[in-house]
Structure 1
Amino acid sequence: MAETQSTQAQRKAANEVFIGKKPLMTYVTATLVQLANEPTVTIKARGLSIARAIDVAQIIVKRMNSLGYKISDVRLGSEQMQSQNGKVRNVSTIEIDISRK
Structure 2
Amino acid sequence: MLDNTTDTIFIGKKPLMSYVTSAIIQLASLDSITIKARGMSIGLAVDVTQVLLKKTNVFEVGCVKINSESLESQDGRKRDVSTIEIPISKKAK
TM-score (normalised: structure 1): 0.87
Greater than 4 Å deviation, 4+ residue runs: none
- Give the Å deviation of 1:54: 0.1
Aligned-partner SS, 2:63: strand
Runs of 5+ consecutive residues of structure 2 not aligned to the other structure: none
Alignment pair present for 1:18 and 2:29: no
Counterparts of residues 36-51 of structure 1 (less than 5 Å): 36-51=28-43
Distance across 2 between alignment mates of 1:55 and 1:73: 17
Instruction: Let me know the Cα RMSD of the aligned residues.
Output: 0.9
Tell me the matched-pair count: 91
Determine which of 61, 65, 68 is the counterpart of 1:71.
Answer: 61
Higher Rg of the two aligned structures: 1
Identity rate, percent: 48
TM-score (normalised: structure 2): 0.94
Counterparts of residues 23-62 of structure 1 (less than 5 Å): 23-62=15-54
1:81 maps to which residue? 71
